Amino acid sequence: MTIETWDAVKGEIEKSVGANNFAAWIKPLEFQSCDDRTLALNSPTDFIGRWVVQHFADVILRHAGEAGVDATRLICSAQMPGTKPRILTGDTDLSPAQKARAKPRPVDGLDPRFTFETFVVGKSNELAHAAAKRVATGAAVTFNPLFLHGGVGLGKTHLMQAIAWELRQRRPDCSVLFLSAEQFMYRFVQALRDHNTMSFKAMFRSVDVLLVDDMQFIAGKDSTQEEFFHTYNALVDNGKQVVLSADRSPAEISDVSERITSRLQSSLVIDLHPADYELRLGIMQHRYAQYRDMQPDFVLAEGVLEFLAARVSQSIRVLEGAITRLFHYWELIRRPIHTEQVGEVLTDLLRASGRKLTIDEIMKKTCEHYNLRMSDMTSARRTRSVARPRQMAMYLAKKLTPRSYPEIGRKFGGKDHTTVLYAVRKIEELMRTDSQLAEDAQLLQRKLEG
């Protein structure tokens, strides 16, 4: 693909998406590269890039395909100044002498958003983060390979690319190759087809740090596995760093030869856990701050981030989708967004597979926990042993449902909204000093979300 082809493709896209969309999103995009079936475009801001990938990837790839561009993936972001990652390609035909000093050709393939600066650390990912940081210093190899695994959207790709970015900055002399296991296979197959396996091998063996993402992909693909295994052994035996990721642990990847899995199990295997509430909140705050840097008028009412962190699924990708959607909603209404609206805008993303948590359920579980009767929840009794659990239930209702203060007040026997507000503040305050109460709150929340 060339810049001219891209201009032509743009013209076609305009017909599909209409003039307004075109002017807002597509027109500013510049062609950057097309490698490994990945079309990379530059956008004026990362935000535009993200929006384009989310909403226009299909259209863009379809029209690019019609123009003869073989790409199945679109990346689109603002370019990070001065830091082009050096990614190797296997298409050079090398003589033995050249092989010895095989120099990688730079190709862009890293997402500029995936750096350590943008990675929020919490309990569920701190080990993985620490190990990644360690590898990224480029110091002597201590654990080799590093194997990161965990469910979808928990930050594996982000961490792997953060390592690549950081190494690029700290050790520009060092050749770093990041690619997915799928790309590895694709290049291998291409090398086989072109009778070019020698240069394929030479190229992969010349890297200093190899990062392969989504290793589960090689399950059942015997010759790719075999080739990967040789590459892997050659690198590790030469003291080069290898970092791998997968959606499950080495032992759980089936259809991979015993020889490989047993070797992988001797690596440093670290799993990323689903993000807990604190991490989810941390990430939301981070994202919110980023949006507000761009649009200082973007305001989420108090409690919205907490609500999202409590109710949106454990995948960080979904969490990010949630705040992005709120931002676009805000662009339409240009007013602060309240929890009640969040409930409407994000119904499909709210957790418990569409099941909506009701205030009744919250009252019921709280009563069970504290051994009270439902009538205690709606009564006006002020005894601490009743009042405190009632406040807890109000707090949970505010946190876990999109109901407003007055609505919650009504549910609790027609109390004033200020009573609810007071209860929420009180519990929040107590949680900081009273560890038993904090534990109760967490336990109840887990039960309710369970």
Which residues make up the interface to Mg ion (CB under 5 A)? 156-157
Alpha-carbon span 5 to 8, nearest angstrom: 5
Tokens 């032992």 locate to 251
Contact 43, 49 (CB under 8 A): yes
Counting contacts by CB under 6 A, is residue 155 touching ligand ADP? Answer: yes
Q: How long a stretch of residues is the chain?
A: 450
For 252, what's the count of Cα atoms within 13 Å in the CB-facing half-sphere? 12
Q: Give the nearer residue to Mg ion in terms of CB position, either 252 or 416.
A: 252
192 touches which of ligand ADP, Mg ion, none (CB within 5 to 8 A by kind)? none
Q: How far is the CB of 282 from ligand ADP (least distance, A)?
A: 8
Q: Give the nearer residue to ligand ADP in terms of CB position, either 246 or 427.
A: 246
Contacts with ligand ADP, 101-120, as mask; x by CB under 6 A: ------------xx---xxx
Alpha-carbon span 182 to 271, nearest angstrom: 21
155 touches which of Mg ion, ligand ADP, none (CB within 5 to 8 A by kind)? ligand ADP
* Contact set for ligand ADP, span 287-326 (CB under 6 A): 316-317, 320
Residue from 36, 74, 145, 158 touching ligand ADP (CB under 6 A): that is 158
Q: Give the nearer residue to ligand ADP in terms of CB position, either 123 or 381.
A: 123
**Residue 162 Cα to chain centre, angstroms:** 12
Phi then psi for residue 314, to 5 deg, are -75, -10
Closest CA to 159 of 223, 114, 103: 114
Sheet holding 73-77, edge to edge: 30-35, 38-42, 73-77
Written as one letter, the residue type at 103 is K
Cα maximum dimension of the chain: 88
Contact 107, 33 (CB under 8 A): yes
Q: Which span sits near ligand ADP by CB under 6 A: 151-159, 164-172, 180-188, 394-402?
A: 151-159
Residue from 63, 156, 201, 221 touching ligand ADP (CB under 6 A): that is 156
Alpha-carbon span 407 to 411, nearest angstrom: 6
Counting contacts by CB under 6 A, is residue 50 touching ligand ADP? Answer: no
* Contact set for ligand ADP, span 400-429 (CB under 6 A): none
In degrees, rounded to 5, the angle at the alpha carbon of residue 438 between the alpha carbons of residues 432 and 439 is: 150
Counting contacts by CB under 6 A, is residue 157 touching ligand ADP? Answer: yes
Residue from 109, 145, 153, 402 touching ligand ADP (CB under 6 A): that is 153
Counting contacts by CB under 6 A, is residue 276 touching ligand ADP? Answer: no
Counting contacts by CB under 6 A, is residue 125 touching ligand ADP? Answer: yes
Interface positions with ligand ADP (CB under 6 A): 113-114, 118-120, 125, 150, 152-158, 283, 316-317, 320
